[in-house]
């Protein structure tokens, strides 16, 4: 049988370094299997009986079984003697055979029907070992190397060598693809001559720690590159893939599903012909989103205050060692009014002058980790109205007494009260809709002292505190009607209205 398969004739001379084809059925072999060491998503395993099962970490994949991945799913297989395969999304790979011969050498063959996979062998294969991958159009063989194999569509395969050399055969022709080279196989044609892979991209600019999700990283720009690719792994060698993305150069990668921890990033670029560069990396990615930035609970943003001190509260975190607060007169926080540390969940400002203010707070943990600052809030401290010295006109004639005070900016109007007592229980005059900083008493007052106070109001209806009361004295010579008549007239008017 062996002679017939290998077309040998009597006297059946076999020369050194010759290769013989031997039927698997007559080989003395030991059963071995591939083991799943990591997965992402819920990939499937199709058994020899066409039964479909969900694949889990730790499962074995036996000869005759097929691994199927869907969108954003990955499978990492390890074989005896530390050989690896990384199967990418939207892929279908059949483990044709995997066996250990009587001389302890390993032989394996795979069939990649669609998608992409990366094979890696850390030590050079022995003469009687092989680790071969077939596609619908080509066969690859390796000896101590790492390469990517992509079944792009029904018409095209691509092989890219990352380490060592790969033999690529199709349509009876063979080419050797060295490190940093790639080759295409088109259906019905021999492999194209090896083509240099594009240069590896530069590492992008990254933050020391990413404190919020998604992690946003700008893809490097590079000439003649149509897309940039990022691969996220949990290990420094890049064996356990957690996520992959491709974007045009200069656009943003956005990683939103990673938990707090450290990760390793690998970057590649793909040129206009579809060849992908050797990877750049690993670049270390640190994510810590817990605890998050403090959340301010009061006051409301853009609130107005007539008081000079403001109390700010935020939600307390059990992970906080202390908080760092900043108060500024500009939204960029370059003109700081106050900055301090506190262990409390509130902050009271110093006495503030009228104007616009901005506030933010960040948290620091016991191990020295600082969160981002909170979303800033702003408020405005309004100038309080001041009566100053009341300017009055003399009482008499039809004009009465006119009170005037300094005008205030950003004010929609004023309110005034005049009373015979400091507590303003006995009001003799009141106006809540003054448009100008003046008020005319158009009825006669009896001699004596009167108390006056004012306050301003903003366009959105916010009212300032009342000013401290000031005393207005009505002299005897300026009074020509009895006070009782004036008060009765006022009361009568109020009843009529």
Give me the CATH code for the 391-496 domain, please: 2.60.40.10
- What is the residue whose two structure tokens read 């095209």? 156
Q: Which of 109-113, 225-229, 299-303, 401-405 has the lowest mean pLDDT?
A: 401-405
Joined together, the tokens standing for residue 96 give: 């044709």
Q: Could you tell me if 101 and 118 are in contact, meaning their C-beta atoms sit under 8 angstroms apart?
A: no
Q: What is the mean pLDDT of the segment spanning 231-257? A: 93
Query: Whole-angstrom Cα distance, residue 241 to residue 86?
Result: 8
Using H for helix, E for strand and C for coil, what is the string for 249-271? CCCEEEECCCCCEEEEEEEEEEE
Domain 17-196 sits in CATH at 2.60.120.1440
Q: How confident is the model at residue 28 (pLDDT cuts 50, 70, 90)?
A: low
Least confident of 77-86, 128-137, 300-309, 356-365: 128-137
| Cβ atoms 148, 160 nearer than 8 A | yes
Query: How many Cα atoms within 13 Å fall on the side-chain side of residue 137?
Result: 22
> Does residue 381 have a pLDDT over 90?
yes
Strands 438-441 and 401-404, sheet pairing:
antiparallel
Q: How many CB atoms lie within 10 A of CB 265?
A: 24
Check whether 395 has a pLDDT greater than 70: no
Q: Is the pLDDT of residue 133 over 60?
A: yes
CB 434 within 8 A of CB 456: no
Could you give the CA distance from residue 478 to residue 234 in angstroms, rounded to a whole number? Answer: 92
Place 389 in a pLDDT band, splitting at 50, 70 and 90.
low
Asked if 286 and 208 touch (Cβ cutoff 8 Å), the reply is yes
Q: How confident is the model at residue 486 (pLDDT cuts 50, 70, 90)?
A: very low
The DSSP result for 378-398, as a single string, is: EEEEPPPP---SPEEPPP-TT
pLDDT band at 128 (very low <50, low <70, confident <90, very high): low
Q: List pLDDT tens digits, range 82-116.
A: 789 999 999 999 999 888 876 777 888 999 999 99
- Regarding the domain delimited by 215-287, which CATH topology (the fold level of the hierarchy) does it fall under? Immunoglobulin-like (2.60.40)
* Averaged pLDDT for residues 274-300: 95
Tokens of 342: 């506190």
SS3 476: helix
Identical topology for domains 215-287 and 296-381: yes
Residue found under tokens 């448009």? 435
DSSP secondary structure letter of residue 352: -
What pLDDT is recorded for position 388?
61
130-134 and 106-121 strand pairing = parallel
Q: In terms of residues, how long is the chain?
A: 497
CA 388/CA 452 separation, integer angstroms: 11
Is residue 476 predicted with pLDDT exceeding 50? yes
- What 3 state SS string does 444-470 have? CCCCEEEEEEEEEECCCCCECCCCCCE
What are the structural domain ranges in the chain? 17-196, 215-287, 296-381, 391-496
Amino acid 220: pLDDT: 94
Task: State the residue for tokens 């707090």.
Answer: 260
Position 279 confidence tier, pLDDT thresholds 50, 70, 90: very high
Q: Does domain 296-381 have CATH number 2.60.40.10?
A: yes
Q: For the chain, give percent helix, strand, coil, nearest 5.
A: 5, 45, 50
Prediction pTM value: 0.71
The arithmetic mean of pLDDT across residues 52-78, rounded, is 94
On average, the pLDDT of the chain sits at 87
Least confident of 30-39, 460-469, 485-494: 485-494
Encoded tokens for 417: 């009260």
Q: What is the pLDDT confidence band of residue 479, given thresholds at 50, 70 and 90?
A: very low
Least confident of 81-85, 283-287, 425-429: 81-85
């Amino acid at each position: 049988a062996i002679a017939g398969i290998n077309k040998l004739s009597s006297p059946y001379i076999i020369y050194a370094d010759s290769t013989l084809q031997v039927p698997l059925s007559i080989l003395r072999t030991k059963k071995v299997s591939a083991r799943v060491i990591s997965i992402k998503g819920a990939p499937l395993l199709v058994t020899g009986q066409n039964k479909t099962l969900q694949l889990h970490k730790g499962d074995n994949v036996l000869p005759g079984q097929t691994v199927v991945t869907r969108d954003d799913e990955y499978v990492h297989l390890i074989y005896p003697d530390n050989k690896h395969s990384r199967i990418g999304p939207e892929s279908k790979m059949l483990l044709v055979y995997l066996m250990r011969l009587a001389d302890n050498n390993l032989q394996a063959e795979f069939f990649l029907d669609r998608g992409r996979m990366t094979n890696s062998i850390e030590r050079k294969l022995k003469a009687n070992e092989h680790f071969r991958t077939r596609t619908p159009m080509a066969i690859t063989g390796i000896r101590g190397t790492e390469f990517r194999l992509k079944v792009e569509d029904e018409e095209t395969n691509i092989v890219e060598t990352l380490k060592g050399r790969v033999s690529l055969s199709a349509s009876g022709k063979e080419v050797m693809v060295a490190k940093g080279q790639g080759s295409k196989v088109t259906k019905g044609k021999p492999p194209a001559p090896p083509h240099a892979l594009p240069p590896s991209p530069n590492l992008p600019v990254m933050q020391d720690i990413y404190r919020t999700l998604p992690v946003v990283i700008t893809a490097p720009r590079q000439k003649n590159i149509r897309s940039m690719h990022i691969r996220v792994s949990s290990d420094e060698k890049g064996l356990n893939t957690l996520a992959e993305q491709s974007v045009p150069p200069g656009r943003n990668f956005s990683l939103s599903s990673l938990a707090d921890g450290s990760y390793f990033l690998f970057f590649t670029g793909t040129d206009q012909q579809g060849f992908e560069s050797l990877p750049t990396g690993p670049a270390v990615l640190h994510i810590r989103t817990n605890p998050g930035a403090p959340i301010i609970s009061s006051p409301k943003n853009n609130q107005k205050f007539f008081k000079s001190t403001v109390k700010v509260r935020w939600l307390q975190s059990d992970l906080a060692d202390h908080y760092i607060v900043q108060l500024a007169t500009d939204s960029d926080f370059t003109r700081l009014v106050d900055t301090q540390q506190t262990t409390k969940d509130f902050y009271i400002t110093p006495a503030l002058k009228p104007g616009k203010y901005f506030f933010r707070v960040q948290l620091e943990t016991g191990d020295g980790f600082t969160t981002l600052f909170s979303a800033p809030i702003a408020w405005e401290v309004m100038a309080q109205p001041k009566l100053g010295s009341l300017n009055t006109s003399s009482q008499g004639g039809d004009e009465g007494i006119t009170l005037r005070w300094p005008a205030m900016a950003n004010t929609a109007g004023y309110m005034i009260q005049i009373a015979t007592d400091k507590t303003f229980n006995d009001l003799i005059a009141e106006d809540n809709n003054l448009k100008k900083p003046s008020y005319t008493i158009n009825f006669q007052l009896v001699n004596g002292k009167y108390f006056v106070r004012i306050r301003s109001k903003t366009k959105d209806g916010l009212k300032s505190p009342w000013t401290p009361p000031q005393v207005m004295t009505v002299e005897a010579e300026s009074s020509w009607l009895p006070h009782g008549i004036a008060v009765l007239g006022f009361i009568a008017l109020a009843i009529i209205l």
